[in-house]
């Protein structure tokens, strides 16, 4: 596919149709269960794709380093900390330019068995949160109606890679 470059971080972005990806050119090493981490990435992307099926949206998937500033809740933001130290962490981000979520929906979206889609079990976000918990990481969900949603899974860097 076509190669893109974002001016803000200069990391390579590969166009996969509606989903663009960005990977760092330096190692990000985390200690964890590769099957669970793969599940979390698939669920992050699937949630974004399914939530925006009826709208034209861009979806951006990135893996990079980012600062974790601790758990917070404010309008349009929910973050959950499961033992991640403040500072630099590996982060898997899925950001879309879609419809976003109303604030009451944001509050209940992470609940087990909650789904706005028919024939869905409501296990996606709880599974991602479970991966964050089992890796002593963090999870953040930000949304703005009409502007989109970002979901970020923060993971501690392995010793020696901080």
Q: What is the pLDDT along the chain (162 residues), one digit of tens a residue?
A: 333 333 333 333 333 445 566 666 667 888 888 899 999 999 998 888 887 776 677 888 888 888 888 887 788 888 889 999 888 899 999 998 888 888 888 787 777 776 666 667 667 888 999 999 999 999 998 888 888 889 999 999 988 776
CA 47, CA 61: separation in Å to the nearest integer?
12
Which pTM does this prediction carry? 0.80
DSSP 32-45: S-HHHHHHHHHHHH
């Amino acid at each position: 596919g076509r190669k893109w470059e974002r001016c803000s971080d200069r990391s390579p972005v590969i166009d996969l149709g509606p989903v663009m990806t960005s990977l760092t050119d330096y190692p990000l090493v985390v200690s964890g269960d590769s099957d669970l981490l793969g599940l979390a990435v698939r669920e992050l992307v699937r949630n974004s794709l399914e939530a925006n099926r009826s709208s034209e949206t861009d979806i951006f998937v990135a893996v990079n380093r980012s600062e974790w500033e601790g758990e917070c809740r404010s309008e349009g933001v929910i973050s959950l900390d499961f033992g991640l130290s403040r500072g630099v962490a590996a982060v898997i981000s899925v950001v879309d330019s879609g419809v976003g979520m109303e604030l009451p929906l944001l509050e209940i979206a992470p609940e087990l068995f909650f789904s706005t889609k028919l024939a869905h079990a409501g296990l996606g976000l709880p599974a991602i949160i479970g991966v964050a918990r089992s890796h002593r990481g963090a999870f953040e969900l930000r949304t703005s109606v009409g502007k989109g949603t970002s979901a970020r899974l923060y993971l501690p860097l392995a010793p020696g890679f901080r």
